[in-house]
Chains A and B, each alone.
Chain A
Amino acid sequence: MSTTTAPRSRTHNASGGTIVPAHERTLRNRVSLGESIRHSLTMAYRGLLKIRRTPEQLFDVTLQPIIFTVMFTYIFGGAISGDVASYLPVIIPGILVQTVITTSVVTGTQLREDMDQGVFDRFRSLPIARIAPLSGALLADTVRYAIATTLTFVMGFIMGYRPHGGIWSVIGAALLVIVCAWAISWIFAFFGVIARSASSVQGISMIILFPLTFLSNAFVPVDTMPTWLQWFVNINPVSHLVTSVRDVLNTGAFTSEAFLPLIGAAVIVAIFAPLTVRAYMRRA
């Protein structure tokens, strides 16, 4: 028998061939960072395959940006900014943030449904990074955010929105929103892991999301609100994200203010990613 240690060196006759005995194998009890990233990317590939197999699950991210953008712009445009054209620089960044963050809730519900499948038991029995099944799923979902982002900008463009910052500011703003939504999706992934059913994830997430997105500066100027509400709106992280996106789009400048949401995003991931992985590991 040869002294090969890695299983990959024996590609043929998987079940009939000679098995390398346990003590002749090179075994490690740790997964390196590089491997963790590779496992996550493979899991993301799984997520993409699933999206390709069931494209109908993209209905929400395609329809919501179209409907909401048109609806909100024409309903509020005249009242808030005098006319639709001058409302667009206000509403497009707002609706972009709202839409993409709402989309990130789906991550939690889908994760819950996914985890109810037997395949997650197999993932847990494999010598792979514990975080990979989760981070992979979350990574694949950035495709959804990209679709929602693109469609929102396309709708805005059709209605006449021309960002001052040009194409680079659009790309920059899009990346900013997608990265933040990915970070926020860890919160919903956490609910997804601890909740009993997909519908309860949806329930909890909406209760949190609704006030966060609407009690912000996404749709209306803050100074029209009562003072006590302004206090909340001004500390609301969603407001900060909206402000950053507006700054980037309408001035084309990446100010230090624009990096604030990125720091917030990093904090969210630093807290919720380990929490989620731990909860995931504990669940039977």
Chain B
Amino acid sequence: MNTHTEWAVEADGLVKTFGSNRAVDGVDLRVATGTVYGVLGPNGAGKTTTISMLATLLRPDAGSARIFGHDVQREAQVVRQLIGVTGQYASVDEGLSATENLVLFSRLLGLGRREAKIKANDLLEEFGLTEAASRPLKKFSGGMRRRLDLAASLISQPPLIFLDEPTTGLDPRTRAQMWETIRRLVAGGSTVLLTTQYLDEADQLADRIAVIDRGRVVAEGTGDELKAQVGSSSLELRLGEPQLAQRALGIAERVLGVAGTTSAEAARITVPLSDPERVTDLLIELRGEGIRLEEFSVHKPSLDDVFLSITGKPTEDAETPEGAHA
């Protein structure tokens, strides 16, 4: 496609400070037009703050950002004509019905009374909300709210859509529906920038992923590139005698070829696992050394593991949402 600006988003050295807290501390991003870009990070990493600056909701303290070549500060109003923002918390009017919300936003975006009505009905139908159209929003489920919120972001059919944690708190089925919707958006030519706490989600949806921690991008690449850094999964062993942890770790490193870590109470060790075949070797080796196992499990890589391998320390307050104990 012949695009004038290849980049939907260009951010250079974005900084935002709240008091003494540098929420965003020099973030650079490049999002190509027509792609899905995932920003992955734990709570408080600066994801929402970054999006707020890109969406003209917050003024950066330093650095600059352009949306399709338009500066977010100097041409804020132009940028607003090119973006749709769906927040972490449904940002529709709680006091109005679904239809009233969509009509309101349509009218604000320049549609006539009749057009707005048609638009609202179309969107409600598309997002499966027709039956709930006149119900008070207080009676909406989390998934319905997100859908309405997303519908409201799509009224002007913006070429760039920001989705701030679109599936946090949704049940698996609703999450799958949301993923489907996001894929549909991209098929229509939109560029999507989404934030998430789930590696799995970023991996499923995003063409490229930036891992963000304490306001900085600590890793960037495709999902495969990131996972290559982490190992596809990890092996977790709980030992009968914690004092043998260091020895077990040594054996694991010898057999699997990578360094593992021990947990604080040292009864548990975690090792990246690139080749499941080798687990058998390790288990035999451990038994030969007389190291008794209480429990063993295989972990799919979580955000925690990504952080562990990239930053060398676990996330401070990361919930492990996909607690994938095998």
B47 CB to closest chain A CB (Å) equals 15
Q: Which residues of B contact A6 (CB under 8 A)?
A: 110
Name A284's contact: one of B8, B58, B118, B157 (CB within 8 Å).
B58
| A14-B154, A17-B188, A31-B77 known; A23+B108 contact, CB < 8 A | no
- Bound state CA distance, A27 and B70, in angstroms? 10
Flag if A128 contacts B155 (CB, 8 Å). Answer: no
Apart from A118-B90, A120-B91: 12 A-B pairs, beta carbons within 8 A? A7-B110, A7-B156, A8-B110, A8-B111, A8-B112, A11-B122, A15-B154, A15-B188, A22-B160, A23-B4, A50-B95, A284-B58
Contacts A/B (CB < 8 Å), 30 sampled: A7-B110, A7-B155, A7-B156, A8-B112, A11-B115, A11-B119, A11-B122, A13-B122, A14-B151, A15-B151, A15-B154, A19-B189, A21-B189, A22-B67, A25-B81, A29-B75, A30-B77, A39-B108, A46-B93, A46-B104, A49-B95, A50-B95, A119-B91, A119-B94, A122-B91, A123-B108, A125-B56, A125-B83, A127-B80, A128-B109
What does the 1/0 interface line of B89-128 toward A look like (CB < 8 Å)? 1111111100010001101111110010011001100100
B311 lies within 8 A of chain A by Cβ? no
Q: Is B152 an interface residue (CB 8 A)?
A: yes
Most buried by A among B76, B77, B92, B111: B77
Are B85 and A122 touching (Cβ within 8 A)? yes
Asked if residues A21 and B3 are in contact (CB atoms below 8 Å), the reply is: yes
Residues of B contacting A17 with CB < 8 Å?
157, 188
Is B324 in contact with chain A by the CB < 8 A criterion? no
Q: For A125, what are the chain B residues with a Cβ–Cβ distance below 8 Å?
A: 55-57, 80, 83, 85
Q: Cβ of A54: which chain B residues have Cβ within 8 Å of it? A: 95
How distant is the Cα of A15 from the Cα of B123 in the complex, in angstroms?
8
B-side contacts of A25, CB under 8 Å: 81-82, 159
Using a CB-CB cutoff of 8 Å, which residues 128-168 of chain B contact chain A?
A: 136, 151-152, 154-160
Contact of B123 among A14, A19, A121, A127 (CB under 8 A): A14
Contact B91 A20 (CB under 8 A): no
What CA separation (Å) do A16 and B126 show in the bound complex?
Answer: 9
Chain A residues engaging chain B, CB cutoff 8 angstroms: 6-8, 10-23, 25, 27-31, 39, 42-43, 45-46, 49-50, 53-54, 117-128, 132, 284
Q: Given A6-B110, A22-B68, A119-B91, are A14 and B85 also a contact pair (CB < 8 Å)? A: no
B184 CB contacts on chain A under 8 angstroms: 15-16
The complex places the Cα of A7 from the Cα of B84 at a distance, in Å, of 13
Identify the closest chain A residue to B88 (Cβ): A118
Set of chain B residues within 8 Å of A21, measured between Cβ atoms: 1, 3, 33, 159, 189
**Inter-chain contacts of B92 with A (CB < 8 A):** 118-119, 122
* Contacting residues, chain B, for A119 (C-beta < 8 A): 91-94
- Which of A28, A53, A120 contacts B95, CB < 8 Å? A53
| Cβ distance A264 to chain B, nearest Cβ, rounded Å | 32
Q: Which residue of A lies closest to B16 (CB)?
A: A284
Pair B77/A29 contact, Cβ less than 8 Å: yes
The contact of A12 among B108, B122, B189, by CB within 8 Å, is B122
List residues of chain B with CB within 8 A of the CB of A50: 93, 95-96
- Given A23-B68, A49-B100, are A8 and B91 also a contact pair (CB < 8 Å)? no
A8 touches B56 (CB 8 A): no
Given contacts A7-B156, A50-B96, A126-B108, contact A27 B5 (CB under 8 A): no
Q: Cα distance A23–B68 when bound, in Å?
A: 8
Shortest Cβ gap from B4 to chain A (Å): 4
Contact A126 B4 (CB under 8 A): no
State whether A45 touches B5 (Cβ < 8 A): no
The answer to whether B81 touches A127, judged by C-beta atoms less than 8 angstroms apart, is yes
The distance in angstroms between the C-alpha atoms of A53 and B75, with both chains bound, is 37
The proximity string for B residues 170-191 relative to A, scoring 1 for CB distances below 8 Å and 0 otherwise, is 0000000000010011011110
Chain B nearest Cβ from A4, distance in angstroms: 11
Q: Which residues of A contact B156 (CB under 8 A)?
A: 7
A27's closest neighbor in chain B, by CB? B78
Partner of A128, one of B55, B82, B108: B108
Select which of B68, B78, B189 is within 8 A of A18 by beta carbon. Answer: B189
A137 to B160, CA, bound (A): 29
- What's the Cα separation between A19 and B152 when bound, in Å? 16
A14 and B122 contacting across the interface, CB-CB below 8 Å = yes
Measured between alpha carbons, how far is A50 from B68 in the docked complex, in Å? 37
